[in-house]
Structure formats: C-alpha cells, structure tokens
C-alpha cells in the first residue's frame, strides 16, 4: 500500500515524517479533509485574521497531491 504524508503549516511547519499507508489517492484526500477538520477545530479560535493554515498531502516521493489552504482575513470597511 502506498504511504502518504500530511504536512501542516500554522505558525511553523510540522513535517509528517511517519506518514500513513492508505489504499489510494482518494483515501488520502478523505483522510486529509477529516484530519484537517479535526485540527482546525483543535485550534480553538487561535486562527487569527492575517494568518494561514495549510495542509500539504504528498506521496512517497514527496510529490504534492493536494493542498488544503485556509486563509483568515478581516475585511476592510
């Protein structure tokens, strides 16, 4: 089974060095969206305007397959 890595950047980059074995890219996407939701909920309001939260999903060769990017901003006016 292929191994996928889920690197997260918020305040600093957290490199996933262990990864997770999943059957295919679709399963990696599903895992990324579920995990991202849990992680964002765990921030408990700490995602401030002007800050970004990013998850990059890569394969075993570190090729980027997906990027989940949350950008927080406060509208002007």
Q: pTM of whole model > 0.85?
A: yes
Residue 67 lies in a domain: yes
Q: Are 23 and 52 in contact (CB under 8 A)?
A: no
| Residue 35 pLDDT > 90 | yes
pLDDT score, position 42: 86
Report how far residue 76's alpha carbon sits from residue 18's, in angstroms, rounded to the nearest whole number: 42
Please state the domain count of the chain.
1
d(C-alpha 36, C-alpha 57), whole Å: 11
More confident of the two residues 34 and 49: 34
Residue 77 lies in a domain: no
For 41-75, how does the pLDDT look when each residue is reduced to its tens digit (9 = 90+)?
A: 888 877 888 889 999 999 999 999 999 999 988 88
- Find out whether 72 and 46 touch, Cβ atoms under 8 Å: no
Flag whether 76 is in a domain: no
């Amino acid at each position: 089974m292929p191994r996928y890595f889920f690197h997260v950047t918020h305040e600093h980059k957290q490199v996933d060095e262990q990864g997770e074995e999943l059957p295919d890219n679709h399963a990696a996407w599903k895992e990324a969206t579920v995990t991202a939701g849990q992680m964002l909920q765990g921030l408990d309001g700490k995602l401030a305007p002007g800050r970004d939260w990013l998850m990059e999903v890569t394969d075993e060769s570190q090729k980027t397959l997906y990027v989940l990017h949350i950008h927080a901003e406060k509208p002007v006016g």
